[in-house]
Structure 1
Amino acid sequence: MTTETARPVLDDRRWKALGVCLTAGFISLLDVSIVNVALPSMERGLGASEATQSWVVSGYALAFGLALAPAGRLGDLRGRRQALLFGLALFTAASVGCGLAAGPTWLVVFRLIQGAAAGVVAPQTSGLIQQMFQGAERARAFGFHGSVVAVSTAVGPLVGGLLIEAFGTDNGWRWVFFVNVPIGVAALVAGHRLLPRLPVPGDRREKFDPVGVLLLGSGVLALLLPLVQEQQWQGRAKWALLPVGALLLGAFWMWERAKSSRGDAPLVDLGLFSLRSFTLGTLISLTFFGGLTTIFFVLSLFLQNSLGYTALGAGVTILPFAVASAAGAALGGRLVTRYGRGLVVAGLSGVVLGLLGVVLAVQLVPGRDAGWAMALPLVVAGVGSGLTVSPNTTLTLTLVPVRRAGAAGGVMQTGQRIGSAVGIAVVGAVYFAHLAARGPATKALQLGLLTAMAIILVALVLAVVDLRARQTHPGRDDLAPAPPRGLGESGAGEKAASGA
Structure 2
Amino acid sequence: MNTPRTVVQLGGEGDGDYAPDPRRWRALAVCMLAGFITLLDVSIVNVALPSIRTALDASDGDIQWVLSGYALTFGLVLVPAGRVGDARGRRMMFMLGVALFTAASALCGAAQSAVWLVLARLIQGVAGGLLTPQVSALIQQLFRGRERARAFGVFGSVIGISTAVGPVLGGLIINVFGAEHGWRWIFFVNLPIGIAAFVLAARLLPGPEHEHRPCLRDLDPVGVMLLGAAVVLLMLPLVEERQWHTAAKWLFVPASAALLALFVAWEYRYRKRYTPLVDLDLFRERSYACGSLVMLCYFAGFTSIFFVLTLYLQSGLGDSALVAGLAVTPFALGSAASAAVGGHLVARYGHALVAAGLLTVICGLGVVVVLVGTVDPAVTEWAILGPLLIAGLGSGLVIAPNQALTLASVPPREAGSAGGVLQTGQRIGSALGIAVVGSTFFSRLASQAHPDWSGALRLGLVVSISFVVLALAIAIGDLTQERNRTAADPDTKP
TM-score of the pair, normalised by structure 2: 0.94
Distance 1:201 1:153 in 2: 37
Deviation at 1:368? 2.7
Q: Partners of 1:208 and 1:198 in 2: how far apart? A: 16
Deviations 1:365-385 (A, max 9, x none): 131310100000000100000
Is 1:464 paired with 2:476?
yes
Which residue pairs with 2:137 in the alignment? 127
Aligned partner of 1:220 among 223, 231, 246:
231
Q: Which residue of 2 aligns with 1:276?
A: 286
Shift of 1:209: 1.1
Deviations along 1:236-256, one digit per CA (max 9) or x if unpaired, are 111111111111111111111
**In 1, Cα distance between the equivalents of 2:325 and 2:178?**
17
Give the distance between the partners of 2:142 and 2:157, measured in 1 at CA.
Answer: 19
> Counterparts of 1:401 and 1:100 in 2: how far apart (Å)?
43
How far 1:7 sits from its partner (Å)? 7.9
Q: CA deviation at 1:280?
A: 0.4
Q: Show structure 1 runs of 4+ deviating over 6 A.
A: 5-8
Partner of 1:39: 49
The RMSD of aligned alpha carbons is 2.0
Contact 1:8 1:198 in 2 (8 A): no
**Residue 113 of structure 1 aligns with which residue?**
123
Paired letter, 1:390: A
Q: Do residues 13 (structure 1) and 23 (structure 2) align?
A: yes
Give CA deviations for 1:50-79 in whole Å, capped at 9, x if unaligned: 111110000000000001000000000001
Q: Structure 2: give runs of 5+ residues left out of the alignment.
A: 1-14
**Contact 2:85/2:416 (8 A) holds in 1:** yes
Counterpart pick for 2:367 among 357, 375, 388: 357
Separation of aligned partners in 1, 2:306 and 2:288: 27
* Structure 1 residues 475 and 112: alpha-carbon distance in aligned structure 2, compared to 1, 3 A threshold: farther
Q: Which residue of 1 aligns with 2:10?
A: none
What is the aligned partner in structure 2 of residue 448 from structure 1? 460
- 2:242 counterpart residue number: 231
Q: State the aligned residue count.
A: 478
Q: CA deviation at 1:203?
A: 6.9
Q: Deviations over 1:321-362 (max 9, x none)?
A: 001100111110010010000000000001000110111121
- 1:363 & 1:314 partners in 2: Cα distance? 18
**Are 2:38 and 1:28 equivalent residues in the alignment?**
yes
Q: Find out whether 1:319 has 2:329 as its counterpart.
A: yes
Q: 1:121 to 1:57 in 2, by over 3 A?
A: same
CA-to-aligned-CA distance 1:99-129 (integer Å, 9 cap, x gap): 0111111111110000000001110000000
| Pair 1:246 & 2:222 matched | no
Normalised to the residue count of structure 1, the TM-score between the two structures is 0.93
Please tell me the residue identity of whatever aligns with 1:76: D
The match for 1:97 is 107
**1:296 and 2:306 matched:** yes
1:57 to 45, 52, 67: 67
Contact 2:170 2:186 (C-alpha < 8 Å) held by counterparts: yes
Instruction: Name the CA distance, whole Å, in 2 between partners of 1:476 and 1:328.
Output: 33
Q: CA deviation at 1:8?
A: 7.6
Q: Secondary structure at the match of 2:378?
A: coil
2-structure distance, mates of 1:476, 1:321: 40
* Residue 387, structure 1, aligned to residue 397, structure 2: yes
Whichever residue aligns with residue 227 of structure 1, its letter is L
User: 2:196 is matched by which residue type in structure 1?
Assistant: A
1:202, 1:351 → 2: CA distance?
46
TM-superposed CA distance for 1:476, in Å, is 9.5
2:173 pairs, out of 163, 167, 177, with 163
Distance in 1 separating the partners of 2:299 and 2:455: 23
Question: Is residue 259 of structure 1 aligned with residue 288 of structure 2?
Answer: no
- 8 Å CA contact 2:139, 2:152 repeated in 1: yes
Q: Partner of 1:266: helix, strand, or coil? A: coil
- Counterpart of 1:207 in structure 2 is 218
Question: SS in structure 1 opposite 2:181?
Answer: helix
* Aligned residues with identical type, % of pairs: 54
